[in-house]
Amino acid sequence: MIKIELSGCDGSGKSTAMVYFTEQARLRGLTVVETREVGNPHIPACVKMREFVLDPANNMRGETMELIFAAMRFENDLWLQKLQESENPPDLVISDRGYFDHLAYTDHNVSEDFTRDFYENFMAEQTTLPEVVIYFSVNTDTALKRRVKRGTGMDVIEMKGVEYQEKVRGYFEAWIDSYEGAFFGSDVTFYEVDANQSIEEVQKQLREILSEIQDYL
């Protein structure tokens, strides 16, 4: 069972890409379970925690939010362990967001010191890292246009605005650079998708990534 996390800023197109990536995996005969790091739909308590923490009306300080996000990660990790130990574990577990999203967003939601002390030191030891991270790299203008086109209501994170998202993008790149260099099967393998490209080009990149991952199954 290979755990894959799709990461990127809001508006990078990762959620849309996840639908396509999952569909392609199943067309190749792979068994897939879809999930999300924050608000795992397979865990009712996580769904409720996500609704609570992202509700702007609750107006929580950053540290409080991160502790709730971490609680969801603990529950998600237990769910993954049980799935892997089941009689018929899936070939792939594909998650919308994951560990590196925690790092990038927490750097600016709280502080870099909090991220290192809590997530990189504590949470990385207490929970399981993914085997694969697919990062969707996108520029700020493209991401903003996509968020506007999406037209849905904004949660407490999205309400922080364009400047916040730009800083998060920088943190993503810094964290991934610091972890890059791992080989598949050892620590984390990273793939970067140029999400500024057309849908067809992004899909092509995803098919190539899927082919490489499939070789290890």
Report pLDDT for 184. 47
Is the pLDDT at 185 greater than 50, yes or no?
Answer: no
Residue count of the chain, please give it: 217
Q: What is the rounded distance in angstroms from the CA atom of residue 140 to the CA atom of residue 195?
A: 11
Kindly report each contact of residues 176-181 with a partner whose C-beta sits within 8 Å and lies 24 or more positions away, as own/partner. Answer: 176/100, 176/133, 176/135, 179/100
CATH of the domain spanning 2-36+91-214 = 3.40.50.300
Six-digit token string for 2: 């290979």
pLDDT over 90, % of the chain: 55
Least confident of 75-84, 109-118, 134-143: 134-143
Top-confidence residue, 21 or 176? 21
Question: Mean pLDDT over residues 110-119, rounded?
Answer: 90
Report pLDDT for 166. 76
Sequential DSSP letters for 187-217: S-EEEEEETTS-HHHHHHHHHHHHHHHHTT-
| Tens-digit pLDDT profile for residues 26-45 | 999 999 999 999 999 999 99
Instruction: List C-alpha distances in Å: 180 to 59, 92, 135, 212.
Output: 35, 22, 12, 17
Q: Which of 63-72, 103-112, 164-173 has the highest mean predicted lDDT (pLDDT)?
A: 63-72
Question: What is the distance between the terminal CA atoms of the chain, rounded to a whole angstrom?
Answer: 8
- Give the pTM: 0.86
Mark 98-120 as b/e (b = at least 16 C-beta within 10 Å): bbbbbbbbbbbbbeeeebeebbb
Q: What is the rounded distance in angstroms from the CA atom of residue 123 to the CA atom of residue 100?
A: 12
Top-confidence residue, 56 or 63? 63
Is the pLDDT at 149 greater than 60, yes or no?
Answer: yes
Is the pLDDT at 77 greater than 50, yes or no?
Answer: yes
Report pLDDT for 71. 96
Report pLDDT for 127. 92
Report pLDDT for 27. 97
Is the pLDDT at 152 greater than 80, yes or no?
Answer: no
Question: Mean pLDDT over residues 72-95, rounded?
Answer: 96
Report pLDDT for 147. 62
Instruction: List C-alpha distances in Å: 120 to 18, 70, 100.
Output: 26, 12, 10
Is the pLDDT at 113 greater than 80, yes or no?
Answer: yes
Backbone dihedral angles phi then psi of residue 4, each to the nearest 5 degrees: -120, 130
Q: Where are the domains of the chain?
A: 2-36+91-214
Closest CA to 103 of 117, 121, 115: 115
Q: Are 192 and 135 within 8 A, CB to CB?
A: yes
pLDDT band at residue 181 under the 50/70/90 scheme: low
- β-pairing verdict for 92-96 and 32-36: parallel
